[in-house]
Structure 1
Amino acid sequence: MKLARLYVLLRVVLLPALLGPVTGMSEPRSPEATSSIANLVEGVKDSVVNVDVQARAAGSEDFFEKFFGMPGGGSGGSGLGEPDPHERIRQGEGSGFIIDPNGLILTNNHVVENAISIRIRLNDGRQFDARVLGRDPLTDLALLKLQGDVKNLPVARLGDSDAVRVGDTVVAIGNPFGLTSSVSAGILSARARDIQSGPYDNFLQTDAAINPGNSGGPLFNVRGEVIGINTAIVGGGSGIGFAVPSNMARALLPQLEKGQIHRGWLGVAVQDLTPELAQALHVPVTQGAIVTDVQPGTPSAAAGLKRDDILTAIDGQPIESSRGLTREIGFRQPQETLTLTVYRGGKAREVKAKLGERPDLEGTTPAPPPEERSDTGHELGLSLREADPRLTPGVKGGALLVDVMPGSPAERAGLQPGMTITEAGGKPVRGPEALSQVIKAQKPGSVLLLRVQVGKSLLLRALPIPAKR
């Protein structure tokens, strides 16, 4: 406990020193010198908004709920919908910021996921309803549009997150615990953090205080530019917060405005190249991504990539790791042609590859409209659509789970969005309608054995059929 108190005392003394130039220790600082971010805050605070959300309760706690207690999980639609009378509705709060004077708001996906209604409160007290234009669960970003007569709103400028350096002063503004326009300051603690929340993790780390309700709010540099979107904190930790880099958000904005995210895809499994592996593979490089598998019929196979190939650059830009390769490919567009630098047999070569479109490997694609999906009924809690063959190598047909109702027999059976049902009751499943027919033929109170596929893994699930149907 003494150690904790000592840390707090040191923090109070040292933080003001981070907010202005070092001028020596001989003279005490004036009160004005310790308020060096006051003008910055005054200039940007009106662009920060409060996001009030009513959302369908998720079936189980998801990654971001552990950090912020916000609605999340599942694979609800990107727009708003009427609540089902059988669903639990929960209230949530988050933050966001205006990026267009006509009412475009950038926030986190987990703030508005599964939203039934969204209400935006501006710093001047005005309130607007909002709808989701687009969202991307894999980077935890969402774009909202204010409804009604909206114009000439104050905006926050997106800065260059690549230009910020570790040690630079940063300022977070948001609504922690509903406390509107709360300001905290700190430094950039680290860059390119992978916190295992998704395939494109590249977070900025800061020690500026971030708390529940800050989620989706801006992280500013000293020029008043947004260099990050506050997203997560370490549970049980202190002074460890994470923000999505502004450059990542800028790259996705055109697609978020259109409501769909399209990503490039090679179709390879990779792992990091280590110095030991480089020595064993007799290559003169120590950073890159080793190909461990090439899926048949994918862009990687068409490009002639092979197992044990080492990818070290894309269009001349170095690739330092397997995660770096995943990020770089994921932010390219389908049908784009790349030049890959590849080491094979210890020798470098260049390979042309035309990207395909990345399948929904995580099952995060919003559920399609009712006319495009098959719903087996409220009693089982399953929503299905035709399977993507890229997700189930070697399987023809199948029914892809796009939604599972919380508390339903499907959820109790361990079924999750993103799974593909390939067999039911010992019979191959050729599509959603075929599965529906098998389910309807079951006796009340019986249990239906399902074979499901996730990637290359095959699993069994026992789906209970209600006694009263």
Structure 2
Amino acid sequence: MSAPHRGAALSTLSLAAMLGLSLLFGAAAPAIAAATKGPDTVADTAARVMDAVVNISTSQTVAPSRSVPTPELPPGSPFEEFFEEFFKRRQQQGEENGGRPRRVSSLGSGFVIDPTGFIVTNNHVIADADEIYANFADGSKLKAELVGRDTKVDLALLKVTPPEGKTLTSVKFGDSDVLRVGDWVMAIGNPFGLGGTLTVGVISARNRDINSGPYDNFLQTDAAINRGNSGGPLFDMDGNVIGINTAIISPSGGSIGIGFAVPANTAVPVIAQLKEFGETRRGWIGVRIQQVTDEIAESLSLGKTRGALVGSVTDDGPAAKGGIKAGDVIVKFDGKDVKDMRALPIIVADTPVDKQVEVVVVRRGKEETLKLAVGRLDENDKPADSEAPASPDKPAPDATTTTKLMGMEIAELTPELRTRFKLKDDAKGVVIVAVQPSTPAADRGLVAGNLILEVNQEATGTPKDVENRIATLKKDGRRSALLMIGDADGQVRFTALPVD
């Protein structure tokens, strides 16, 4: 799936490809307008904040394009002479231009958050720029220096030096968590390089994941956002910045009423770290997590689908030192509810490094409160991974004694099977030697060579152990069994299978 537009740097995204819909109209789709009457006026609010919004112009040096080699054609081809003349002419033109690097420029938006000259924008607006300038509403232009950037949330902090005796107009961040779907907002930016432009709309949705990074929780708005608006502020009706406009979905590059903004409450700690350290310092606890499905929630007696299921724990990491184990479901972190898997990396990342926090986990159907010290994330690492990819399926050898259960054939781990599936010497569990097609086990990605390490958080060493656990679950009226699955690389994940 293609990513939404990020300013002028990205190619046009097909709305049909993004949403799986067909475009029914041959003409350009009209912009989505608010169906209800908006505020009587936003003129007073706009007048207070407009001067704090700036146009960001950048320039960079681009190396000359390399000449295209003349295609090889069979001797005597009727096109041989034509292509030789064409490419000879192209080479001469390049030599006449001196083969010199060329300068390219781009435009975006930003806003002043401190009268001393600190400006917030998107990282993609200033990425790879040699020079950055902030153009103000009064026509003045100041050179900006990059203080720091964060590629994961797509934010950058710039600094300009105001002329002596001049105080810059600035704006303040608001609380994006109090926004509701339907609240009115206004966007100010530099669409298509036109200069300061204001549009009004509503919050269309919250916590949108557009697959642009590990911390996606965008605000969605129908306020018109176009190329060049990137990095500009999204205001509430009191003039507080509640978002930074970052991306749009559009078949043509123009607004169709689907724009996305980084929430202020996500941006504020990032900006504070960039201002203090010139880099981000995110929290990390060292767990590999996966989504809690309805089946997993039922098998773990969670009551409802919630939390993040711990698949594995990094040795000597903060989570391991705090007592978190594989199979735990983290439902609360530092006083904040973990609604789903995607919420945990965002909460942990916003937690100060070295802070002592309480973590509530569900273990064997009961809540336990643990304590740990948050570590620092290596920015080259992923904050949390999903399920591990499956290994290629392999048929069971004829000599292996197997037990058929839940769409699988399982067997005790023997030296022969360890060799066949390239399992490590210290691998334990019951090996899956075959999976029947079109079964829940196949749908969950289980394949030959996987190991069943636990059934409902009880270790298994033989197929009989698995059978006994399943029989107990059926007797207790449970509909699914939670399996801890290991692979040849030692990666662990959980999956729930129906016991019928």
Normalised-by-shorter TM-score class: 0.5 to 0.7
- Give the superposed CA RMSD: 2.8
Q: Aligned partners of 2:100 and 2:173: how far apart in 1?
A: 41
1:98 aligns with 2:103: no
Match of 1:75 in 2: none
Going from structure 1 to structure 2, the CA distance change for 1:160 and 1:3 (only over 3 Å counts) comes to same
Question: 8 Å contact 1:263–1:331 — kept in the other structure?
Answer: yes
Q: Are 2:205 and 1:190 equivalent residues in the alignment?
A: yes
Secondary structure of the equivalent of 2:176?
coil
Q: TM-score, normalised by structure 1?
A: 0.64
Pair 1:213 & 2:218 matched? no
Q: Give the aligned residue type for 1:125.
A: G
Separation in 2 of the partners of 1:213 and 1:254? 25
Partner letter of residue 209 of structure 2? D
Which of 121, 131, 142 in structure 1 is aligned with 2:135?
A: 121
> How many residues are aligned here?
324
| Residue in structure 2 matched with residue 301 of structure 1 by the alignment | 320
Distance change (3 Å), C-alpha of 1:456 and 1:144: farther
Q: Is 1:132 aligned to residue 146 of structure 2?
A: yes
The 1:279–1:104 alpha-carbon spacing in structure 2 relative to 1, beyond 3 Å, is: same
Q: Do the aligned partners of residues 170 and 277 (structure 1) sit closer, same or farther apart at CA in structure 2, a change above 3 Å counting?
A: same
Q: Tell me, in whole angstroms, the C-alpha distance in 1 between the residues paired with 2:350 and 2:283.
A: 7
Shift of 1:225: 1.4
Relative to 1, partners in 2 of residues 1:51 and 1:362: Cα closer, same or farther, differing over 3 Å? farther
Q: How does 1:50-449 map to 2 (within 5 A)?
A: 50-55=55-60, 89-147=103-161, 149=163, 151-236=166-251, 238-258=256-276, 259-361=278-380
> In 1, Cα distance between the equivalents of 2:101 and 2:351?
38
Following TM superposition, by how much is the alpha carbon of 1:323 offset from its aligned partner in structure 2, in angstroms? 1.3
Conservation of the 8 A alpha-carbon contact between 2:189 and 2:198: yes
TM-superposition CA deviations, 1:239-279 (whole Å, max 9, x none): 11000111222222321112021111111110121221111
**Matched residue SS, 1:105:** strand
Q: 1:294: Cα distance to partner?
A: 1.1
Tell me which structure has the larger Cα radius of gyration: 2
- Runs of 4+ in structure 1 deviating by more than 4 angstroms, as ranges, are 1-9, 85-89
Native 8 Å contact 2:116 2:161 kept in 1: no
Letter of the aligned partner of 1:42 in structure 2?
A: A
Counterpart of 2:122, as a letter, is N
Q: 1:244 to 1:87 in 2, by over 3 A?
A: farther
Instruction: Output one character per residue of 1:277-300: Cα deviation in whole Å (capped at 9) or x when no partner.
Output: 111223334200000111222112
Q: Do structure 1's residue 49 and structure 2's residue 59 form an aligned pair?
A: no
Contact 2:205 2:220 in 1 (8 A): yes
* Post-superposition offset of 1:118: 0.4
Cα distance, 1:217–1:355 mapped onto 2, change above 3 Å = same
Unaligned runs of 5+ residues in structure 2 are 1-22, 64-98, 384-488, 492-500
Aligned 8 A contact 1:271 1:321 in 2: no
- Letter paired with 1:202: N
Deviations 1:193-229 (A, max 9, x none): 1111111111100011111100000111111111110
Cα distance, 1:192 vs structure 2: 0.8
CA distance in 2, matches of 1:269, 1:57: 41
Q: 1:4 Cα shift?
A: 8.3
1:19 counterpart (38, 61, 72) = 38
1:107 maps to a residue whose letter is: T
2:309 touches 2:327 (CA, 8 Å); kept in 1? yes
Tell me the secondary structure at the aligned position of residue 359 of structure 1: coil
SS at match of 2:177: coil
Contact 2:285 2:318 in 1 (8 A): yes
Query: Match for 1:37: what amino acid?
Result: V
Identity of matched residues, %: 42
- Superposed CA offset, 1:118-160 (max 9, x none): 0110000000000011111111111111035364111122111
State the secondary structure of the residue aligned to 1:279. Answer: helix
CA contact (8 A) 2:30 2:256 kept: no
For the residue of structure 2 that corresponds to 1:152, the secondary structure is coil
AA aligned to 2:380 is: L
Matched letter for residue 95 of structure 1: S
1:156-188 per-position Cα deviation (integer Å, ceiling 9, x unaligned): 221111122111111111111100011111111
Deviations 1:393-436 (A, max 9, x none): xxxxxxxxxxxxxxxxxxxxxxxxxxxxxxxxxxxxxxxxxxxx
Residues 229, 6 of structure 1: CA spacing in aligned structure 2 closer, same or farther, 3 A cutoff?
A: closer
Contact kept? 2:116, 2:162, Cα under 8 Å? no
CA shift for structure 1 position 363: 9.3
User: Contact 1:18 / 1:169 at 8 angstroms: preserved in 2?
Assistant: no
Structure 1: gaps of 5 or more residues:
21-32, 59-84, 365-454, 458-469
Distance 1:89 1:119 in 2: 15
Question: TM-score, normalising length from structure 2?
Answer: 0.60
